[in-house]
Chains A and B, each alone.
Chain A
Amino acid sequence: MLRFLLRRIAWAIVTLWIVSVIVFAATSVLSGNAARAVLGKNAAPATLHALESELHLDRSVFYQYWYWLSHFVRGDFGHSAASVIGSDTAHNSIITLIAGPAANSAILAVITVIIMIPVSLLMGVLAATRAGGWMDHVTAIVSLTAISLPEFVTGTILVAIFATALSWLPPVSLIGPGQGVLDVPQILVLPILTLLAATVAECVRMVRSSVIEALDSDYVATARLAGLSESRIMFSYALRNALAPSVQVIALNMQWLVGGIVVVETVFSYPGLGRLFVSAVNLRDIPTTQSIALLLAAIYIALNILADLIITFLVPELRLA
């Protein structure tokens, strides 16, 4: 099992390296001159030149890549191209630029996960034990709808209902100077609801079907014929074996959140990493884009390993292999 874990991590590092090449190639090489991209066509030659040397654009592509990657892994993400214009050296470091938003995104994601896990498991198991009933059918349709909707549509509809029509909650995440997101908790409600809509629905469906599959298995039938109590069968036989696939889908949805926040934060103008990323893309701030992209990909891959690890631990056949 340790060998499996080490191989898994080694492959993850290789993957991440390939990802870094793709990110760098797609952003730096394809888009041409990063300095011109951010400054626009009418930039003064002097400014352009200054920014070019700041971004090492006067060196070879390979040098630029190496410079970026070697500093990235040491935690030095470089400087934002957009803020270089202001030449405010205290604020143009990408790491200071993203620290606050990263914390805000983490708050959003963690609260979502804390709600998602128990709700998914509970509703999934309830739906499975009442399979075929009208509640089950209603849940099926509602969850299918929730899964189908793009996050920005769900978010927009929630804003239209709770902000515009009912005025219960703010439509966008406005934070006063000096305030953190937790000081104005009402701004968290709609983004979290939007993230939950898609994830919980999918988790419930998967938990339900894995519990149903386990209840349908030969070993549950055999346990019933051996006169085991229903609670023992439910917990030690059905749920115990449904746990691994359920955890897997929950982990997958935690991974999904990494992409989901990019869209949802944009919908609500939530001051997180995702919105910063989208605005960096739109401002053609290539250094910031690269750094956030690689950071999010690393989190994504790390969550994947974590999921594999938990699954391996939950399935004896894998754990003891």
Chain B
Amino acid sequence: MTAPMARTTPNDARGLGRRLRLARHPAAVVGLILLAVIVTIALIGPYVAPFSPTAVADLPFATPDMHHWLGTDELGRDVLSRVLNGGQSLLGLSVLATAVAYAIGLPAGLAAGYTRSRTTNSIIMRGVDVLLSFPPPLLLLVVATGANSNIWAMVLAVGLVLAAPLTRIVRAGTLDVAQRAYVEAAVARGEHTGRILRREVLPNILSVIFADVGLRLSYAVLLIASVNFLGVGLQPPSSDWGLMIAENRQGLNLNPWMVIVPAMLVAIITVSINLVADGIARTLGTSIERAR
């Protein structure tokens, strides 16, 4: 008859901020530094770029020299200037897509997890199932066909792709919390559903969300970059890194820098976000284990 005991240690009781001791994970610290570097490049890059990212500056496929530190691309544009200009779009669109994913997935997951109506739950979860029965690149390419590669439609589509698993995660967390006695106590007190979700449920699934947000953002970067690479996102003459790789791949042996530099930058973004996300998951994971 002994009920399962969820013992929590005192240091688990305070806010999430205290529990996120990332400094204990050197890999996460490295990730955070790399991420800061990339964000800085993306933000101030356009102001320090020596040339216009779209103007023809020299002969095509020129190797690096004093004027063009990274050489020129297939149209003779300055690679360094294009690289410095190409980060904002990728990061900005990825953050936007993640925001879209949360704007859809968080309320949908909360609703599906908390509602007692089978219909509501079914509608939301079958919608998720349908979204998950497309391989993500396929769904994005289908949308691109219909939307004529409109970049905002693509961001929305990436947001939808990301929202599907997010809805599942939030729903699972909500289901777990909703059957706790403190939620039932609030129901017995006659609280409004909105207040119960906000005050009783949400604070207790914050750790789930914290562990997820980095992962979601890294998927967003991966998908947005892939969309641009496949030529169905941002269109030339945009200097987006994904697009740069696609455009310049043919001349890889003439001036490798115009491909390798944007490729490394995309790699650093996704790897650094994942390192940080992994660190967060580990700190939360250990405190969740401690709470058991």
Contact = CB atoms under 8 A, between A and B. Distances in A.
Interface of A: 11, 15-16, 18-19, 22-23, 25-27, 29-31, 141, 144-145, 147-153, 156-157, 159-160, 163-165, 171, 255-256, 258-260, 262-263, 266-267, 277-278, 281-282, 284, 286, 289, 293, 296-297, 300-301, 304
B167 interface: no
Nearest to B232: A281
Contact of B226 (A27, A263, A286, A296): A263
Interface in B15-63: 27
B141 A164 contact: no
A157 B267 contact: yes
A27 B145 contact: yes
B226 A148 contact: no
Contacts of A300: 133-135, 138
A160 B245 contact: no
Contacts of B154: none
B145 A281 contact: yes
A221 to B, nearest CB: 15
A208 to B, nearest CB: 14
A259 B136 contact: yes
A266 to B, nearest CB: 6
A144 B273 CA distance: 11
Given A148-B270, A150-B225, A304-B133, A296 B138 contact: yes
A190 to B, nearest CB: 13
B137 A293 contact: no
B145 A160 contact: no
B275 A144 contact: yes
A268 to B, nearest CB: 10
Given A15-B133, A164-B252, A148 B138 contact: no
Nearest to A292: B138
B258 to A, nearest CB: 11
A300 B130 CA distance: 12
Contacts of B146: 25-27, 29-31
Contacts of A29: 146
B147 interface: yes
B174 interface: no
Nearest to B252: A164
Contacts of B273: 148
A105 to B, nearest CB: 12
B230 interface: yes
Nearest to B143: A26
B230 A144 contact: no
15 contacts: A15-B130, A31-B145, A145-B274, A148-B222, A150-B225, A152-B229, A152-B242, A153-B266, A157-B263, A165-B256, A277-B138, A284-B145, A286-B145, A293-B141, A297-B134
A263 to B, nearest CB: 6
B97 to A, nearest CB: 14
A281 B147 CA distance: 11
A156 B266 CA distance: 11
Nearest to A298: B133
Contacts of B232: 281-282
B168 to A, nearest CB: 13
Given A31-B145, A31-B148, A150-B266, A144 B260 contact: no
A171 B254 CA distance: 14
Given A27-B142, A150-B222, A160-B259, A262 B27 contact: no
Contact of B134 (A19, A278, A289): A19
Interface in B245-289: 245-246, 249, 252-253, 256, 259-260, 263-264, 266-267, 270-271, 273-275, 278
Contacts of B260: 156-157, 160
Contacts of B148: 31
Contacts of B64: none
A159 B259 CA distance: 11
B231 A282 contact: yes
Contacts of A278: 141, 230-231
B85 interface: no
Given A144-B274, A148-B270, A259 B263 contact: no
B218 A148 contact: yes
Nearest to A258: B135
B178 to A, nearest CB: 25
A81 to B, nearest CB: 12
A237 to B, nearest CB: 22
Given A23-B142, A26-B145, A151 B226 contact: yes
